[in-house]
Structure 1
Amino acid sequence: MHIRITRSLLLGFASAATLLACPLAASAQSAPPQDDASEVDEIVVTGTRAVGRSRLDTIAPVDVVSGESLTRQGAGTELAAALSALAPSISFPRPAITDGSDHVRPATLRGLAPDQTLVLINGQRGHIGALVNVNGNIGRGSTAFDLNTIPTVTLGSVEVLRDGASAQYGADAIAGVINLRLREANSGGAVTANYGIYDTDFRTARGNRNETDGEQSSLSGWIGLPLLGDGFLTLSGEIQKRDPTNRSDYAAPGSVANGSSTTVIGRFGDPETEAQTGYFNAGKPLAGGWDAYAFGGYQHRDSNAAATARAFNNANNVTAIYPTGFLPIIATAIDDYNIYGGVRGPALGFDWDINVGYGRNELDYRVENSLNASYGAASQTSFDAGGLGYDQLTVGADAVRQLDVGLYEPLNLAVGVEFRRESFDVNAGEPTSYNRGPVLTGGLGSQGFPGFAPANEVDEDRNNYGVYVDLEGKLTEALSFGVAGRYEDYSDFGDQFTGKVSGRYDFSPEFALRGAVSTGFKAPALQQQFFSYIATNLVATQAGVVLQQNASLRVDDPVALLLGAKPLEPETSVNYSLGGVLRWGGLELTVDAYRIDVSDRIIYSETLGVARPSQPAASTAAIAALLAPLNVQGARFFLNGVDTETQGIDVVARYRISGERGRLDLTLAGNFNQTDVTKTPPVPANLAIAPADDFLFDRSSRLSFEQGTPEQKIVASADWTYNRLGLTGKITSYDSVFVANNNATLDYETGAAVLMDLEARYEFPLGITGAIGANNLLDEYPDFTPTTLNGATGSVGFPSYSPYGFNGRFFYSRLSYAF
């Protein structure tokens, strides 16, 4: 598939902008709504260090999403899902049966990897999660910030910078930056109760059925308090409970003990989740124009998801324990911490921000309803499988001043330094979760998710220093420019310099052109360098899907080195962007085209040892000999070597109508995106027979990069407010996503889809507001997974690559009280 921007499509945008809209822009305001549409122009702090820049006056494109808009996306909606619903450039697939990725689901920006977008909290670098995504989902091989550790009630707004920004903010900002701005208030507050449930009818490969499941409830609130007189303290929190959904197919009769053809033994869907989160945001003026600030929070989340079902006649089942088979449950306990503080004020002619921040993410695994078949009937059924941890300490100083150097306006100079320390640790599970018992014919380790062994344990750290200069000014009244450069030095792989040049020309108050050229980089994560593990995975072979014992090897493992591993180097990028801004009365239109060339992308290799077109039989035999001492059938590891070229266009059109019949906010927003793989890693030279060129990065991985996210996503809605009544209607169109396999005969697509969401609100007296709504009102589903890929157990009912999930129609209600 290729991007097609036709004349009719552009005309459609222009005309539909006056008819349809999405709350992305219409309600994306931190200030109260204005009656005059021309006054709706939010001040932003992301992408610029100049004070007072509005969203439409910035050189780089920035979306502003209000906290109010985020809370209107359903019952207890995950932040990543809410952002995806509002911002077309963000995609949030819902993987299932992908081990840890079921519990920490990554989002993507502009079709790039989840860890190629930098996430900030109040402008400070946030920490990534401990998890590294190692199974068959979008973002495979990546380590990313877990957006769902911060509830929507905590946020005043979110700013999404859609442009390369490594020169301004450091590593990982290849696709852009998401800045989570916490709510700030010294008075007022609100309490909100949400409830929702899925009620859906769908068809899988082996038949039809209906489900009423996935019940969700949450209680959230915030309160603003004065702090020592003239300061503020804003507290917020949420308690959330989500029941699991199940969209598995019927199992084949041969996998059911009684031979039934209408029995579901798998569980493919959202995990069961309970989460408790609390955050604070505080500030206090000091003497001499200085002020102190602090913010942070904590979340504890318990989650459980299913692994692939084990049929009664599975080789690793013990019928004395599970006579009809079993469904392994992977349970996680996730703890996420954030604490930041600093002081701001003038000194030596600069406005300073001196800050320190610390964050940690911990993920502990348990495996329930399972067994270690190598212990036979004596096996336990519940296991402590160990865990992962990651933390980050940052210390920084930023300074800004205006310099009069003879330009049209004073030059804005920003300089800064930062020290960052990161650490990653893996802790082993209990011995029975990973070792082999006395029954030699049974599979070792807890089925579904074998525990981490002592050989997998690590405790590694690194540090880096960074320094930047950021200039922004005006050469004439119409011509603005920006120049930024950043140097970083890492203790493990060396140094890196990135730069950015940007400009904007305002032909009139109504029309401007803007553009930028920048370089960027993403440092190899500690997780990618030091993670290792042995697991039982679903693997697509030429004959179909099989369960197989595979090893994830460290990049310095001797076997990995023989198979082509090398020390990891940073990814690098060159970003180009060109766009236009149009303001005409109540109409706003922005169009931004971009190209992002990324070199030496870090990937997770193919499962080597599996028979496939790029691995001849003789190579398979050579790999089997290497893997024999590890007691595994396949091996994977991280490596550099993939180059990609991503091109796309973002279009956002807004219009506001105000009158006697209320206010109507209209927006139409779309992202058109295409990625091409231009280079793949070379094959190792020391195998018995040289495999094909795509030996380390096979057909399925290449096509996942190129066609694994929608090449077209359009979000349109209308938001109408009249006195106490509010109505929102939204339509989202998704292009079909290609689900590739190494055997082309197993390929299929998710299918194109159009989803409709509706919500009605009414504000009662005394600050009480009630709302009811439906997401995916028409009950749309992606195309189901063919029986050749969902296996005899029918575990995988739908593709995890679906950009809108696979749960169907969702009804919800919301009741809030503001004071």
Structure 2
Amino acid sequence: MHFRPAFNLRNVRTSVSFWSVSAAIVTGMIAPAAVAQAPVEDAVQEVIVTGTREKGRTKYDSLTPVDVISAKAVQDGASSELADNLAQVIPSLQVLKLPSSDGLQFIRPARLRGLGSDQTLVLINGKRFHRSAFLGQRGAQGADLNKISSLGIGRVEVLRDGASAQYGSDAIAGVINIQLDQRPGVAAYVQRSQYFEGDGETTRAGIKAGKTFDGGFVTAALEWADAAMTSRSHQRADALAYEAANPGVDLPDPVQHWGAPDTKNYNFTFNGALETGFGELYAFGTAAKGEGINDINWRIPSATSNASVYKPVLSFPGWDLKSVYPLGFTPREEAKYQDYQAVAGLRGGGEVFTWDLSASIGENETEFYLYNTINASMGPDSPFDFFLGTQTQAEVNLNADGVYRLDVGLSEPLNIAFGAERREETYTIGAGDAASYAVGAGAKDGLAVGSNGFPGFSDVQAGEWSQESYGAYVDVEGKVTPDWTWAAAVRYEDFDSFGDTTNTKLSTRYDFSPKFAARGSVSTGFRAPTPGQINSLSVSQGLDTVTLQVFTNGRLSPLNPIAVSKGAKPLEPEESDNLTMGFVWRTDMGLSGTIDLYQIDVNNRLGQSSSITLTQAEKNALVAQGYPAAASFTSVYWYTNDYDTRTKGIDVVTSYARTIWDGQLNLTLAYNTNKTLITGGSLTANPTTKRNFEEGLPRNNASFTGNFRKGPFEYQVRVRHYGSWTDSTGNSTGDIFQTFGVMNFVDASVLYDINTNLSLKVSVENLFDDYPEKALFQASRGIEYSRNAPYDTYGAQAYVRLNAKF
């Protein structure tokens, strides 16, 4: 049993093809005036529903910091991905591009306040959104925001405070609550964008329809996007050396592209409610389907440098892989996904008592494929394209919630919220083609087994694992005096995988005047280990930037007997202590803002164990267990509760609104400084890992947005600031570090209302075509810019968007 006390104190060059296609789109669209979305109004509904269960709270009188992001801000960016657009306006939210990074190039993590992607809880209309099936950096398995249509969003509320006592597991860094649109009418848009380098062409389109009627409403939105790959690459050092040593050989230049993948995706949302005689029946949901493909590491056609693939062996006399791939080969990885969530419920009540009963089901499934490669151990019998298998995350939630307003003689009734939840999450691995993991006859001669680049999931790796939990909470909020508000919450949860946990939260606020208030909270939190983290095994391959040799790493389940023999232990929940304190102010001249200081201590954090080199007997034992790729393991590791951290930071948000020059001026400045230090655990003894963790993200981030609306024109400028940060190669032979300096990007746009139904927007992101420093420490691999950059490294990007409403 775990019982925890309340607190332990990125030369402008335009592309003719881009502008000609864009002009054609605009010309073709204006005449019929039949589609696309008008600019979404700037006004954001002030009343918030995140972090409080008290009716009528706004972001200015909340007890904890809540950002409210308008639908317009969410849809402002060139990207088709929600997380990218949110990160442009929320400095404490970091979203990495991670090009050519196995699954991470398709399923990119969003991190709030520098913590893990699975340490921020994502809600839709206040209901928990399911996780992605993909286990990312350091095993993080968070929700994928990019599976949610931006067009279907009414607003986004971001609670920057620990909230496990209110919402349960994962809410350590905070909560992102996506409120789906309820507005009536028909709206649509079409958009075309491209980078100034001439690549990354992206076409987007969407349509949304909503209707209100007696006792209810219904809305639905559908978006489509098709994005071409980008590449910021140069020829690899080993490719140049191979051409020099083999006159007459002419390799492709480059042999491998580093950049964003080719992607195509569809996103859909619906939202509706109907008043009945016994309460309001409501339903909402999301659906997404898509695919992406990109290069991974090139394989040199050398029996000396790439012996495990290219060397001739006795098992296949007379056969040589050079007859198939004379210039080497660059495997191409593809991910195809489908994702959905559906929620239905009934709610009712009156002024004194309200209730809400709901059920939800969500699933994320990704299929992995690998093309233009080989299972070397099968020799001439190997296919060249492989289905690698599937990963699926499914979740079912049942919730019962109530709110009772109890009059106890204070300045207003106590708001007593209470509820219970049952949650079941199931993680499934489906096996790939047998050839993707087969041990062929050439294995005994040292040829690599499995599809080269990403061995498939074997039939033994395949399986289904579940975790069930029950939770109950009480959340009380009220005013001690007209100026002093307080809240307290406690939540108990029991998991069948590790036991139970109790978490608490205490918040308070004092209004010194109607224009100035102080607020603060202390809380405990937790993140439960997932079935995927506990049970799954995976194999990955990398490239040493010094030796340029491919190495194979295996990740074992911490329950695997080999791992247990090396010291692995069952996973336990991560636990946090959160402290937030700050001030809120407003003035009559249109200036308002908040400043919040925070400290988050996270103990027992999930990480990777040290890499272990196995003996041949241990490799053989893993092969005997059904893991054929283990025969070529360079090293293995497993997930473990490995270290403790302390994160300190300050969030500042200031806005100014004023009528000037017969127009409306809106200015917003958001700043975050954030520092995470490892305070305990095995990482403190590993200087390389410790530095990479503590310096891997900028400590200072800011976003300034200026918007001016006058007549049919709207002008906007945004400046994005990113502080310095450090990256490393992640080599098997030791890390090489490089520190990257400060980056500032300027985005600018002009929107013109053609008439009451149509508007046209032209925008450039990274207006001055700025690039960060080149990643010298990875140049041997052909990489121009670091894969781990916390910003886009592809240069300036322009887009034209036509909006319509009816």
TM-score, L = length of structure 1: 0.87
Moved more, 704-713 or 571-580: 704-713
The equivalences for 1:588-603 within 5 A come to 588-603=592-607
Cα deviation for residue 375 of structure 1 reads: 2.3
Query: 1:150 is matched with which residue?
Result: 148
Change (3 A) 1:261 1:309: closer
Structure 2, unpaired ranges of 5+: 1-38, 311-320, 622-629
Q: Is residue 492 of structure 1 aligned with residue 497 of structure 2? A: yes
CA distance in 2, matches of 1:93, 1:339: 28
**SS of residue in 1 equivalent to 2:139:** coil
CA distance in 1, matches of 2:725, 2:46: 34
Query: 2:35 is matched with which residue?
Result: none
Query: 1:389 is matched with which residue?
Result: 392
**SS of residue in 2 equivalent to 1:129:** coil
CA distance in 2, matches of 1:544, 1:262: 21
Cα deviation for residue 745 of structure 1 reads: 7.2
Question: Which residue identity is paired with 1:655?
Answer: Y
Question: Which residue identity is paired with 1:552?
Answer: R
Equivalent position to 1:587, from 586, 591, 606: 591
CA distance in 2, matches of 1:174, 1:590: 21
Change (3 A) 1:775 1:343: same
Query: 1:812 is matched with which residue?
Result: 799
Query: 1:771 is matched with which residue?
Result: 761
The equivalences for 1:91-240 within 5 A come to 91-133=94-136, 139-185=137-183, 187-200=184-197, 212-226=198-212, 229-240=214-225
Cα deviation for residue 606 of structure 1 reads: 3.8
The equivalences for 1:656-675 within 5 A come to 656-675=657-676
RMSD over equivalenced CA pairs, Å: 2.0
CA distance in 1, matches of 2:742, 2:108: 22
CA distance in 2, matches of 1:628, 1:806: 43
Cα deviation for residue 701 of structure 1 reads: 3.0
CA distance in 2, matches of 1:131, 1:498: 28
CA distance in 1, matches of 2:335, 2:437: 17
Query: 2:627 is matched with which residue?
Result: none
Change (3 A) 1:46 1:539: farther
Q: Is residue 248 of structure 1 aligned with residue 252 of structure 2? A: no
CA distance in 2, matches of 1:464, 1:93: 32
Cα deviation for residue 197 of structure 1 reads: 0.6
- What whole-Å deviation, never above 9, does each CA across 1:473-519 have from its counterpart, x for those lacking one? 11111111010000000011100000000100110111111000000
Equivalent position to 2:68, from 64, 82, 87: 64
CA distance in 2, matches of 1:805, 1:241: 18
CA distance in 1, matches of 2:118, 2:50: 19
**SS of residue in 2 equivalent to 1:816:** strand
**SS of residue in 1 equivalent to 2:377:** helix
Query: 1:7 is matched with which residue?
Result: none
Cα deviation for residue 41 of structure 1 reads: 6.9
Change (3 A) 1:226 1:41: closer
Cα deviation for residue 672 of structure 1 reads: 0.1
**SS of residue in 2 equivalent to 1:214:** coil
**SS of residue in 1 equivalent to 2:258:** coil
Query: 1:626 is matched with which residue?
Result: 618
Query: 1:650 is matched with which residue?
Result: 651
Moved more, 400-409 or 123-132: 400-409
Query: 1:297 is matched with which residue?
Result: 286
Equivalent position to 2:695, from 703, 707, 712: 707
Query: 2:708 is matched with which residue?
Result: 720
Cα deviation for residue 624 of structure 1 reads: 6.2
CA distance in 2, matches of 1:101, 1:399: 39
- Could you list the structure 1 runs, at least 4 aligned residues long, displaced by more than 4 angstroms after superposition: 30-34, 255-262, 622-625, 741-745
CA contact (8 A) 1:478 1:507 kept: yes
Change (3 A) 1:741 1:322: closer
Query: 1:803 is matched with which residue?
Result: 790
CA distance in 1, matches of 2:763, 2:167: 39
Cα deviation for residue 589 of structure 1 reads: 1.7
CA distance in 1, matches of 2:779, 2:536: 28
Cα deviation for residue 247 of structure 1 reads: 1.6
CA distance in 2, matches of 1:178, 1:606: 33
CA distance in 2, matches of 1:382, 1:557: 30
Query: 1:44 is matched with which residue?
Result: 48
Cα deviation for residue 725 of structure 1 reads: 0.2
Cα deviation for residue 33 of structure 1 reads: 4.7
**SS of residue in 2 equivalent to 1:102:** coil
Query: 1:22 is matched with which residue?
Result: none
CA contact (8 A) 1:703 1:740 kept: no
**SS of residue in 1 equivalent to 2:86:** helix
Q: Is residue 605 of structure 1 aligned with residue 592 of structure 2? A: no
Change (3 A) 1:32 1:199: closer
Q: Is residue 326 of structure 1 aligned with residue 336 of structure 2? A: no
CA contact (8 A) 1:251 1:261 kept: no
Change (3 A) 1:338 1:741: same
CA distance in 2, matches of 1:779, 1:98: 25
CA distance in 1, matches of 2:547, 2:59: 50
Moved more, 167-176 or 366-375: 366-375
Query: 1:503 is matched with which residue?
Result: 508
CA distance in 2, matches of 1:58, 1:348: 21
CA contact (8 A) 1:513 1:579 kept: yes
- What whole-Å deviation, never above 9, does each CA across 1:335-369 have from its counterpart, x for those lacking one? 10110000110189520010000000101111111
Cα deviation for residue 259 of structure 1 reads: 6.4
CA contact (8 A) 1:129 1:390 kept: yes
CA contact (8 A) 1:251 1:262 kept: no
**SS of residue in 2 equivalent to 1:432:** helix
- What whole-Å deviation, never above 9, does each CA across 1:393-415 have from its counterpart, x for those lacking one? 00001101211112221111100
CA distance in 2, matches of 1:407, 1:544: 72
Question: Which residue identity is paired with 2:458?
Answer: A
**Percent identity between the two aligned chains:** 35
CA contact (8 A) 2:708 2:714 kept: yes
Q: Is residue 467 of structure 1 aligned with residue 455 of structure 2? A: no
- What whole-Å deviation, never above 9, does each CA across 1:597-633 have from its counterpart, x for those lacking one? 0000011234333xxxxxxxxxxxx756634553112
Query: 1:4 is matched with which residue?
Result: none
Change (3 A) 1:509 1:623: farther
CA distance in 1, matches of 2:430, 2:541: 19
CA distance in 2, matches of 1:589, 1:226: 35
CA contact (8 A) 1:165 1:520 kept: yes
Query: 1:11 is matched with which residue?
Result: none
- What whole-Å deviation, never above 9, does each CA across 1:154-211 have from its counterpart, x for those lacking one? 10111000000000000000000000111113x31211001101113xxxxxxxxxxx
Q: Is residue 452 of structure 1 aligned with residue 449 of structure 2? A: no
Cα deviation for residue 67 of structure 1 reads: 1.2
Equivalent position to 1:277, from 262, 267, 278: 267
**SS of residue in 2 equivalent to 1:397:** strand
Query: 1:17 is matched with which residue?
Result: none
CA distance in 2, matches of 1:725, 1:255: 57
**SS of residue in 1 equivalent to 2:196:** strand
The equivalences for 1:257-406 within 5 A come to 263-287=253-277, 290-313=279-302, 314-315=306-307, 316-317=309-310, 318-346=321-349, 350-406=353-409
Question: Which residue identity is paired with 1:125?
Answer: R
Question: Which residue identity is paired with 1:715?
Answer: S
CA distance in 2, matches of 1:478, 1:492: 45
CA contact (8 A) 1:153 1:237 kept: yes
Q: How many residues align?
A: 735
Change (3 A) 1:818 1:497: same
CA distance in 1, matches of 2:643, 2:64: 28
CA contact (8 A) 1:627 1:633 kept: no
CA contact (8 A) 2:418 2:475 kept: yes
CA contact (8 A) 2:352 2:406 kept: no
Q: Is residue 760 of structure 1 aligned with residue 750 of structure 2? A: yes
Change (3 A) 1:357 1:410: same
CA distance in 2, matches of 1:255, 1:597: 51
CA distance in 1, matches of 2:570, 2:351: 44
Cα deviation for residue 544 of structure 1 reads: 5.4
CA contact (8 A) 1:624 1:633 kept: no
Change (3 A) 1:32 1:303: closer
Moved more, 528-537 or 330-339: 528-537
